[in-house]
Amino acid sequence: MNIQTDKIGRDRGLTARMILTGFLLALTYIALFGLLLITGIPILFVLIFGVGMVFFQYFFSDKLVLKTTGAKVVNDLEEPKLHQIIDRLSKKAEIPKPKSVANMDVEVPNAFATGRSPKHATIAVTKGLLHRLNDQELEAVLGHELAHVKNRDVAVMTWASLIVVIAGYLMQMMFWMSLFGGFGGGHRREGGGQIWAMIMVAYVGIIIIYFVSQLLTMALSRYREYAADREGAIITGTPMHLASALRKISGQIARIPEKDLRQVEHANAFFIIPALQGRMSIASMMSSHPSTEERVKRLLEMQSQYSISNPVH
Amino acid sequence: MSLLRSILRSYKKKPKTPSEILLLVNRFANESSIEAGEEAAILLSPNTDQFFNDLDLSAKNILREISNNTLMISRTTADDHGTQWIVLKSEDFGALVKGIDHFSTSIADKGLGSQMIAAVFKGTIENKDSYWICNYRTASYYPFVPIGKRERDFDREIILSGIFKHHRMPVEPTENWYSLWDSPF
């Protein structure tokens, strides 16, 4: 076991939240299949479709992502530094080195990991990331991406989102059926009204399941991000470098002005605009990533734990 | 459970009045990583009104209206930018915030609302001095954490803004996080 993991320990709260989210997601599966059983929608057909979609995503998402992002696989002669860092960090993380390393000719600093398992993984970084981050920050970001690989997040999120795929498909199917009279409207006079009402119940139920499962999947995704931050910081041993990289990537620091408040604020009306921005709960709940502030806060807390464990003499 | 908390939070009543916004800083000061200071100030842009001729006297007159023995005027001062400060002091942070609110309302009632720039609270985050600035014009908060004479601790500012948001305080967009060097407190 990693010595540093012993010092930092597991984030039990995060693990508990992930388990709870997983349990709630399982409940949405049960609710969906219950609904399909009651309303007589053929489950087998839905399952074949959903599993087919997920199967495709599971086995081909890495190639698809590389194609759509324009990422180009690079060897160790083209990007020796990247390969060297990934090789070293993979050993520290006790996982095989990802199958390929790629870069994207994009100035926006970013990185991602894809692939269903460590053996099939690809780690891609943009040129903007290589330009803007120093070596320690780059290492921290690569540690985070390797943590995603180690935690098999692509596989976890693919399977977790199966219900969203199925419910979304059913929702669309029922919408088109409602437009073209597939809800048995023609039979309403012969008692078809009851069937119609049942299908409407199923329709509303599926919409609810779709949104709830979407929220849960997004929550799970955010928890996996926190877990990857934590695991990545444990791999590199320097949470503060990931915090610093996140700030640079998010562009927050670049936006902080240099001017003094007194230079810009003269003769302002008292509370002309009550800017009640507050916390955008719905937007944050629908986001796959947690806020940079929260991630930086957690990483700096980790850093202070390291400092306590390793006091400077 | 944070998911449930965030769902419930979205149904909580949002603050509407300037006073409510100002008083939100009380919630924030209860954070474990934060320690509220004993002083807070109102930053003013003076005009020709008599109020600014003898700021000390004007502030004392407002203080007399408040029946709170723990609140006092620490000092009134002008700075190099031509702005003026009324610095209040109280060992009780709740009383200090109420005092700032009362002074703000009182100054605005005198028709000087447009001369008010910000309410500035001081505290520490992880034992580092920090300012929690409530911009009167936008009625939103932002952090300012100076290091030395002209450097800022962006890490801690971002953490502070995260805590502001966590407590549903309106937060100024990052591009408006103007510095406040050489504060008199």
pLDDT in tens, A280-306: 455 667 677 888 878 888 887 787 776
pLDDT at A194 over 70: yes
Query: Where in B60-167 does DSSP place strands (E)?
Result: 72-78, 84-89, 116-125, 128-135, 140-144, 146-147, 151-152
Indicate the range of A96-110, A187-201, B30-44, B106-120 predicted with least confidence: A187-201
Residue among A256, A276, A277 whose CB faces B174 most closely: A256
Helix axes A239-250, A192-236, angle to 10 degrees: 120
CA distance B38 to A138: 42
Q: Tell me which residues of chain B, numbers 17 to 56, contact chain A at a CB-CB cutoff of 8 Å.
A: 17-18, 21, 43, 45, 47
Asked if B9 and A279 come within 8 Å (Cβ–Cβ), the reply is yes
Cβ neighbours around B64 below 10 Å, total: 8
Contact B45, B117 (CB under 8 A): yes
State residue A270's pLDDT score. 33
Q: Encoding tokens for residue A199?
A: 């299908």
Give the CB-side neighbour count of residue B99, counting CA atoms within 13 A: 30
- In angstroms, the separation between the Cα of residue B114 and the nearest Cα of chain A is 4
- In angstroms, the separation between the Cα of residue A259 and the nearest Cα of chain B is 6
Domain segments of chain A: what residues?
11-308
CA distance A267 to B115: 5
Q: A40, exposed or middle or buried, with CB in 10 Å at 0-12, 13-18, 19+?
A: exposed
pLDDT tens readout for residues B81-97: 889 999 999 999 999 99
Phi, psi (5° rounding) for residue A51? Answer: -65, -35
CA distances from B47 to A196, A262, A265 (A): 72, 14, 14
- In angstroms, the separation between the Cα of residue B133 and the nearest Cα of chain A is 10
Residue among A253, A265, A275 whose CB faces B117 most closely: A265
Indicate the range of A6-15, A22-31, A112-121, A213-222 predicted with least confidence: A6-15
Give the CB-side neighbour count of residue A88, counting CA atoms within 13 A: 10
Whether A139 sits among the annotated catalytic residues: the reply is no
Q: Tell me which residues of chain A, numbers 280 to 299, contact chain B at a CB-CB cutoff of 8 Å.
A: 281-282, 284-285, 291-294, 296-297
Task: Judge whether A278 is closer than 8 Å to chain B, CB to CB.
Answer: yes
Mean pLDDT of chain B: 86
Task: Judge whether B166 is closer than 8 Å to chain A, CB to CB.
Answer: yes
For chain A, percent of residues with pLDDT exceeding 90: 22
- Tell which residue, A140, A143, A111, has the closest CA to residue A127: A111
Q: Which of A21, A265, A280 to mutate to test the interface with B (most CBs of B within 10 A)?
A: A265
Amino acid in position A263 = Q
- Tell which residue, B39, B2, B50, B34, has the closest CA to residue A220: B2
Whole-prediction pTM: 0.64
State residue A265's pLDDT score. 58
CA distance B183 to B172: 20
